[in-house]
Structure 1
Amino acid sequence: MERAMLGVSLMDRIRNEVIRQRTKVTDIAVKICKLKWQWAGHICRRTDNRWGRRVLEWRPRTGKRSVGRPPARWTDDLRRVAGSGWMRKAEDRVLWRSLGEAYVQQWMIIG
C-alpha cells in the first residue's frame, strides 16, 4: 500500500525502509508490540481483583505443555526481556518504560 501511495513499483528496487521513511507510516508490528507492553504494565499495576491480573498469574493444573516445540505463551516474550519477575518490575513505571523500549527495539531488529 505504501508503494502505491508513492507510485513506486517493485521493479524500481527501492527498499521498504526507504519507503517507510518517505511515507512516515509506523510499522504495524512495532505498534502492536508497544501496545502489548503497555497493556501488560497496566494490568500488573492494578490493585483491584479483576480477571486480567488473575489470568496472567493462572497456571493450569497439569503444568505440562505439548511435545516438541510448544506454542509460545502470551507472557513468554515479556519474560525474555524483563526476566521472571516481570510483574513486579511492571509496578515501577520508569523501569517498565525503559524495558519497553528495549522490547520494541528487538522487534525492529527482527523486522
Structure 2
Amino acid sequence: MTYGSETWSLTMSLIRRLRVTQRAMERAMLGVSLRDRIRNVEIRGRTKVTDIAQRVAKLKWQWAGHIVRRKDGRWGPKVLKWQPRTGKRSVGRPPTRWTYDIKRVAGSRWIQAAQNRGTWNSLQKTYVQQWTSIG
C-alpha cells in the first residue's frame, strides 16, 4: 500500500483515505465487521500494525534526505530546485508541493539541514509526529 509513497505530496485528505483503507484491511484480516462495533484502537491492538500515516511520513523523510545528499549528478536533487520557465500559475489555489510539509518542519534551508544526518534524523521524529497527530 505504501509503494512509491516517498514521492507523494502528503495532504490531510490523502492521510485520511489511507487510514480508512488500512482500517478496512485490518478488519478484513481479523474477520471483523463494522456491525460488530469494535473500536479501532482495539483492532489496532490485536493486529499490531503500524499506523499508515507514520509509515508514509517516515519513508518520505528518509527519501528526502537520501535524494538531497546524492552527489553523483543524477536528476533527483536538480528537480527539487527546478522552477517553471513560464513563471505563470494556473488560476485558483496552487497545488500542494512535495517539499511544503518538509519545509514546515526543517525550515526553508532544509536542503542544508539534510546534509547532516544527525540533525536530519533528529527532525524526523517531529515530522512523523505531525502526521500521526492528524485525525
Query: Could you state the TM-score of these two structures normalised by the residue count of structure 2?
Result: 0.74
Cα offset for 1:18?
Answer: 2.4
Match of 1:62 among 86, 101, 114: 86
Shift of 1:9: 1.9
Moved more, 22-31 or 36-45: 22-31
Q: TM-score, normalised by structure 1?
A: 0.88
CA apart distance, 1:30: 2.4
Q: Distance in 2 between matches of 1:63 and 1:101?
A: 35
For 1:109, the aligned partner's letter is S
The C-alpha deviation readout for 1:4-35, integer Å capped at 9, x for no partner, is 22232212322223211210112333212211
Instruction: Read off the aligned partner of 2:52 and give its amino acid letter.
Output: I
- Matched with 1:25 is 49
1:28-107 → structure 2 map (5 Å cutoff): 28-107=52-131
Partner of 2:39: 15
Structure 2 gaps, min length 5: 1-24
Query: One-letter code of the match for 1:33?
Result: A
In structure 1, distance between residues paired with 2:38 and 2:92: 40
Amino acid at match of 1:28: I
- The range that moved more, 77-86 or 55-64, is 55-64
What SS does the aligned partner of 2:91 have? coil
Unmatched segments (≥5 aa) in structure 1: none
Alignment partner of 1:4 out of 6, 24, 28: 28
Q: Offset of 1:76 from its aligned partner?
A: 1.0
More moved, 6-15 vs 96-105: 6-15
4+ residue segments displaced more than 6 Å: none
Percent sequence identity over matched residues? 70
User: Partners in 2 of 1:14 and 1:102 — Cα distance?
Assistant: 31
